[in-house]
Structure formats: C-alpha cells, structure tokens
Amino acid sequence: MTAISVPQGFETRTRHDELMSRHTSWHVGGPADLWFMPRDLADLSAFLGQLPGDVPVTWVGLGSNALVRDAGIRGVVICPHGSLNSLERIDETRIRAEAGVPCARIGRQAVKWGLGPAEFFAGIPGTLGGALAMNAGAWGQETWPRVEEVETVDRAGVIRRRSPSEYRVGYRSVVPPARGEWFVAATLKFERDAAASTESIRRLLERRLASQPIGEWSCGSVFTNPPGDHAARLIETAGLKGFSVGDAAVSTKHANFIINRGHARAADIEAVIRHVQETVARVHGVRLQTEVRILGETA
C-alpha cells in the first residue's frame, strides 16, 4: 500500500486505509489508500490542485453500483455524499443539484415542487453523481434526458460547465468528452406535472419491493439487459437462481441480483458473475455485460 501524503490543510477530511466495505451497498471491498470527503466545491478544487499528479483518483457516490475488489483502491477515493449536498430550485421547471445529493431526495423534492417525471429517481439508491455516470434509470425514465447542463471538475481542480451534447449517452453508459473529469453538479429540467405525487412514488417503491430483494446487500441489477431481452430471464432459465460461491448468491427473488448473505468477499461475487456469464453464454448464446462497475485490485 502506498502512503500518500495529505495535502496541507485537508487532514480532517481525509482518512488513510479506509475500508471500502463501509461505503458499498454490497458491503465488500478492501481499503482505499486515502479517502477524501470535500467540504464544498472550493475545497474539492483546492485539494485536487494540490494533489501530486501521479496519485490515481477514483470517485464513489453511495457505492450502490460498485464492486470494490478485496485489495482495495490505490490512490485517493473522493466521495461527495454528505458534503456536495445542495439542492435548489432555479426557476419554474429547473433544479440544480450537487453530485452528493441522493437521487431519492431529488425524486421526493421534485414531486413536492410539482415537477415530473422525477418519481423514478426516488427508487435509485445512489447519488446524482453516480446517476450521471451511469445514466441511471427506472420505469422507462433515465437521468440524461433531464440534464440541461453538468458541472465537472478535472484532475487539476478546474471546474467546467458542459452541455449534454458533449457526452455520448446510452443505456447505462455515458462516455465523457475528456478522461479524468468527474461530475460535481447538474441542472435538471422537468415539466410541471400535476400528477406527480408522493403516492405515485410510494406505489413505485412497492412494486420494487414486490419484485426485488430490497433490504438485502446487493448492487441492484448486476448485468445490463441485452437488446430485446432481460438478463434476469436468461439467468433464471439457465437454472442459476440460488447459485452461490461462499456467501455470494444469485437472488432467488430476482435473478439479476447477486446477494451478499453476510461474509462474501468481492472475489466470491466476481466468481458468481463469471459463472453466470459462462453459463448464460453456453445455454442461450448471449454474453451478458456487467452493469456494475468493478473497481480496485484483486488480493
């Protein structure tokens, strides 16, 4: 493990060897060399400006779509959750949210403001930053059609505004115009929606609860749906529900979820992922692609 010297003045917002299992919804992942939670945008920009250029930088939000390997992450891990937390209404239909704001808060607040379609955000257990990186979506809605502008920071701490046309956006895929740039905020545009209500959010969350193993340690859908089909159907009909390695198991409730039953390692989850991919390829002739982002080093 590399001892990274903390830029001067940032000691209270950094932690050495922070276990990533504390920051992922699968509750797995070894230590990050250095963990940084910025106080605000200016603090983040100053930190990056002072960080030696050869230190790798990784971002996580709520770790709800991240498989961090057992040997952890070299370099700095930046987490905006809990600090880049501002959510404001700019005008009748537009809001600005910083990257650390949980999607659930955006969904609930937009509905209170009478804006839609925003209910889908309420069921996504990540941050806005993660939703922008993933083009998160549910129930036929996605993040990027709502984006009017994003604000990013680069490795040197420079903040930029970018328009959606600069990104190549697809299903759970976002290709940025430049490497080494991360989302710090976005302006989202909705419509006045008289039907948007906390009741419709409640109904969507109930539908989730009925079909997904909510409450168990997972990362949501592990694989993207191949064109014209559903990963869950392919996995289930390949007989893989309940397949396990150690404490990592294909959910018996929703076959596209892998559950950590308590003491799974990232290596166990990766072994289940590989077995599912190989079996589905053999049975159905389809190679499933992971939606989940795999970060860090193997032990």
Residue numbers annotated as active site: 172, 221, 291
State yes or no: residue 251 binds ligand FAD (CB under 6 A): no
State yes or no: residue 21 binds ligand FAD (CB under 6 A): no
- Which residues from 256-285 bind ligand FAD, rule CB under 6 A? none
Cα separation, 92 vs 76, whole angstroms: 39
State yes or no: residue 129 binds ligand FAD (CB under 6 A): yes
> Stretches 8-16, 33-41, 128-136, 237-245: which one binds ligand FAD (CB under 6 A)?
128-136
State yes or no: residue 30 binds ligand FAD (CB under 6 A): no
Nearer to ligand FAD, 31 or 123 (CB): 123
Of the candidates 4, 41, 44, 62, which one interacts with ligand FAD according to CB under 6 A? 62
Residue 44 in tokens: 């983040």
Of the candidates 89, 94, 284, 293, which one interacts with ligand FAD according to CB under 6 A? 293
State yes or no: residue 60 binds ligand FAD (CB under 6 A): yes
State yes or no: residue 182 binds ligand FAD (CB under 6 A): yes
Cα separation, 78 vs 246, whole angstroms: 30
State yes or no: residue 219 binds ligand FAD (CB under 6 A): yes
State yes or no: residue 134 binds ligand FAD (CB under 6 A): yes
State yes or no: residue 72 binds ligand FAD (CB under 6 A): no
Which backbone phi and psi does 94 adopt, to 5 degrees?
A: -115, 145
Nearer to ligand FAD, 161 or 285 (CB): 161
Nearer to ligand FAD, 192 or 261 (CB): 261
Burial of 179 by CB count in 10 Å (0-12 exposed, 13-18 middle, 19+ buried)? exposed
Helix (H, G, I), strand (E, B) or coil at 137: strand
Cα separation, 14 vs 220, whole angstroms: 29
Of the candidates 4, 6, 20, 66, which one interacts with ligand FAD according to CB under 6 A? 66
The DSSP output letter for 60 is -
Cα separation, 47 vs 156, whole angstroms: 9
Binding-residue pattern over the window 78 to 117 for ligand FAD, x denoting contact by CB under 6 A: --x------------------x------------------
Helix (H, G, I), strand (E, B) or coil at 214: coil
Of the candidates 37, 123, 201, 268, which one interacts with ligand FAD according to CB under 6 A? 123
Nearer to ligand FAD, 92 or 206 (CB): 206
Cis status, amide bond into 117, omega within 30 of 0:
yes
Q: Where are the beta strands (DSSP E) in the chain?
A: 14-19, 31-36, 57-59, 66-68, 73-78, 87-89, 94-98, 115-116, 137-138, 141-142, 147-154, 159-162, 168-170, 173-175, 181-189, 191-192, 244-245, 248-250, 258-260, 293-295
Provide the binding-site residues for ligand FAD, judged by CB under 6 A. 25, 58-66, 80, 99, 123-127, 129-131, 133-134, 136-138, 182-183, 214, 218-220, 293
